[in-house]
Structure 1
């Protein structure tokens, strides 16, 4: 898409779309106050240094917060392979103020019921690598757990919070506040020269997985979608268009999907949630040699495009999956076919509707800043878990007495997520 077409689409969408459904700006919220006796608290904070002469790289430190002594203090542990203070190096961006950025406190509250025995909880955190459209600024947590910490899987680009209750004698509870900065992500086809991705990352993004096969019917479908097109950007656009034209949005109760690409194509019913649609796009790209990956995340604010493409209030069911594919010279190009299909359903858009024409152009190369990226991991093996791997990790996971369940089990888990603006 030419730059003038993209700019025209960006301007037109504001005229065609309904009134924005943005959350109201809020006063800066205070951090959680003093905790009740017997609860544990820890925090993670990004520390940076800047001066007028140079720009520094960020340093992220996890360390326990000192608490007043109680009759029976609860221990706070860092990740098993660490001491009480652990330093991670993360890619950080300069700290000059930029008006496009918005800063949010995203608060997760989890209370467990009807659980017995030893208990462990895992919660996916925001992507820890800074990039031009998202920064993870730090995490604070507290609750009545016996130990808690954070671990990383650098291969999967995954960061996970965990908490342990050695003997459940009361109602397990956890509060975790993550502060993140977000801005819109835009792809400009007139600008080349992006930094090349590492070879091992690209190789991983060409591999098949349990949910993303890359041969047989998948490859034949991709070849049909691209036809004689040779340019990789145009091939990605052809696959994006094919996915939009041949799928329907029909989320499962969790809101993000549990499908299998080959099973979808075999059945001829290309219907599912955002993960199903994104994974279909990823599989088709990989099958013809285009590195691609899903990006699992959470809606944290209203949308300027359509109200159904944002979320406010309780965000506990606001999980949403996007995708990106890689081309030499341009780097990673963002797409969101799932939200195109969701808008078609929510707004009853016909294929000739001007709003749909603009949205299709816009969401090839654009991610709105109202969404928090968590990870790109597939076939996730949780650290310390007794069960097998998960297809992907977007919801809190809990193991109690050797049995695993997630936060969608309302009989045993109360899970709420809220976000608030903290940048004025």
Structure 2
């Protein structure tokens, strides 16, 4: 245990680690058996050895030399960081044989006893190659296709390693919306181009995302981003019935983390997963509350959480993405084969000191529906706790953009962009029109 933690923090940390250990309830027996064969280790702690302090003029000279060396090192580091940042915009794809981003080496094992807490997991990066193939049929006139790309901004749980594309388009490029951290690929075909087609290959490194309530001190988010994540949008208002509902959900709770948890619990207790809804849902929070029918798919449930948070002053945002691998929790929370309809929306909210806290209320409701879980089922009890602060990263994030206006068109805004869009002769269509737009997505793990 960390000697700097207070008694209360140790209890919270113990509860967090114990909840993490309960993941074994969902793991297949073969995985548990494999894990038992692996040893566990914990970092050792110790005090740095003391050194003799120089005295007199020698001490002052050494101090001046050390300070000068420190300033030189700081300047060199700043210049190196600037050069690295200037090269980050478009990174080439790594070779298929390249290893995933280097993980921290495991410390030597130490003696453990029956009451030792489980070790916190070391970084477990997994690298995937995601290939998207698009073909357009039965269209006339000029054509443009847009496709959301994986989130370009690196973070502790996802890194974009680059993209490549080819096809019979006339031109293709990528543009960004820094506020929503959205990167979009687009391609143009002139009239009479034959059968338009393209393929985009992206490489992404992933690891599971955990929130630890015993750890504070995360970097503060930009004020511009936080203000943007408090705004009302066309489908996610923050006044009227939305605010009234949020106030009822939080009651007298004042702590922002506890407020987020109260809203998360309210959403779980009052929504239903509806598999008959089209796509990932409409994401119309006001319509849901007005009708009293709190049902839908992941976008509907995640955006309801986001709207309720924003209405009481908690910055929150949806995160749209795509499932790319099997799940260790439940089969329905994973994906394999053609992933063209495996889009999924999660959410996160911001609190000072902790930063962005991940939640996934939609997957709790989906598991309840798919597995017919009862309220007192131990797996459901664990899943509810787990998905407040945990994302299983068998999923890649695209963006957090709402009311999206596609570059190069004056057409209507989209509620969100999570799948390809096409426009020909002023008419827009998407993957729901399979007679005109064919979309195939496959993901392969390439790190061994």
User: How far did 1:300 drift?
Assistant: 0.6
Counterpart pick for 1:57 among 84, 88, 106: 84
Q: Distance in 2 between matches of 1:18 and 1:254?
A: 32
**Counterpart position of 1:5:** 15
User: How far did 1:156 drift?
Assistant: 2.3
1:420 is paired with a residue of what secondary structure? Answer: strand
Q: Is the 8 A contact 1:121 1:398 kept in 2?
A: yes
User: How far did 1:19 drift?
Assistant: 6.2
Q: Is the 8 A contact 1:13 1:355 kept in 2?
A: no
Counterpart pick for 1:227 among 233, 238, 251: 251
User: How far did 1:251 drift?
Assistant: 3.8
Query: Cα–Cα, structure 1 residues 20 and 357, in superposed 2: closer, same or farther, change >3 Å?
Result: farther
More strand by share: 1
Q: Distance in 2 between matches of 1:168 and 1:10?
A: 57
The CA deviation string for residues 153-173 of structure 1, in whole angstroms up to 9 with x for no partner, is 112221000000012331111
**Counterpart position of 1:269:** 293
1:296 is paired with a residue of what secondary structure? Answer: strand
Q: Structure 2 matches for 1:133-172, cutoff 5 A? A: 133-172=157-196
Counterpart pick for 1:330 among 354, 365, 382: 354
Q: How many residues align?
A: 365
2:419 is paired with a residue of what secondary structure? Answer: coil
The CA deviation string for residues 268-295 of structure 1, in whole angstroms up to 9 with x for no partner, is 1000010000000000000001000000
**Counterpart position of 1:31:** none
**Counterpart position of 2:263:** 239
The CA deviation string for residues 66-107 of structure 1, in whole angstroms up to 9 with x for no partner, is xxxxxxxxxxxxxxxxxxxxxxxxxxxx96445500000000
Runs of 4+ in 1 over 4 A off after TM superposition: 16-21, 61-65
Q: Distance in 2 between matches of 1:367 and 1:177?
A: 24
**Counterpart position of 2:318:** 294
User: How far did 1:9 drift?
Assistant: 2.2
Q: Is the 8 A contact 2:92 2:163 kept in 1?
A: no
> Does 1:372 find its partner at 2:396?
yes
Q: Distance in 2 between matches of 1:191 and 1:411?
A: 51
Given the two structures, how large is their TM-score scaled by the length of structure 1?
0.82
User: How far did 1:337 drift?
Assistant: 0.1
More helix by share: 2
Q: Distance in 2 between matches of 1:20 and 1:294?
A: 35
The CA deviation string for residues 297-328 of structure 1, in whole angstroms up to 9 with x for no partner, is 00011101111101010110010000000001
Q: Distance in 2 between matches of 1:298 and 1:183?
A: 15
> Does 1:407 find its partner at 2:434?
no
Q: Distance in 2 between matches of 1:254 and 1:136?
A: 29
1:210 is paired with a residue of what secondary structure? Answer: coil
Q: Is the 8 A contact 1:14 1:304 kept in 2?
A: no
Q: Distance in 2 between matches of 1:386 and 1:223?
A: 38
Query: Cα–Cα, structure 1 residues 327 and 306, in superposed 2: closer, same or farther, change >3 Å?
Result: same
1:60 is paired with a residue of what secondary structure? Answer: coil
User: How far did 1:196 drift?
Assistant: 0.6
Gap regions ≥5 residues in structure 2: 1-10, 32-76, 94-99, 105-122
User: How far did 1:387 drift?
Assistant: 0.8
Give the root-mean-square deviation of aligned CA atoms.
2.2
Q: Distance in 1 between matches of 2:92 and 2:324?
A: 27
Query: Cα–Cα, structure 1 residues 241 and 145, in superposed 2: closer, same or farther, change >3 Å?
Result: same
Given the two structures, how large is their TM-score scaled by the length of structure 2?
0.78
User: How far did 1:11 drift?
Assistant: 1.7
Q: Distance in 2 between matches of 1:237 and 1:62?
A: 38
User: How far did 1:386 drift?
Assistant: 3.1
User: How far did 1:63 drift?
Assistant: 10
Q: Is the 8 A contact 1:20 1:305 kept in 2?
A: no
User: How far did 1:253 drift?
Assistant: 5.5
Q: Is the 8 A contact 1:112 1:413 kept in 2?
A: yes
The CA deviation string for residues 339-374 of structure 1, in whole angstroms up to 9 with x for no partner, is 000000010000100000000000000001101000
Q: Is the 8 A contact 2:91 2:163 kept in 1?
A: no
**Counterpart position of 2:24:** 14
Q: Structure 2 matches for 1:16-415, cutoff 5 A? A: 16=26, 57-58=84-85, 59-60=87-88, 62=90, 96-98=102-104, 100-252=124-276, 254-415=278-439
The CA deviation string for residues 383-414 of structure 1, in whole angstroms up to 9 with x for no partner, is 00131211100010000111000122111111
Q: Is the 8 A contact 2:263 2:309 kept in 1?
A: yes
Gap regions ≥5 residues in structure 1: 22-50, 66-93
Q: Is the 8 A contact 1:107 1:177 kept in 2?
A: yes
Q: Distance in 2 between matches of 1:231 and 1:408?
A: 43
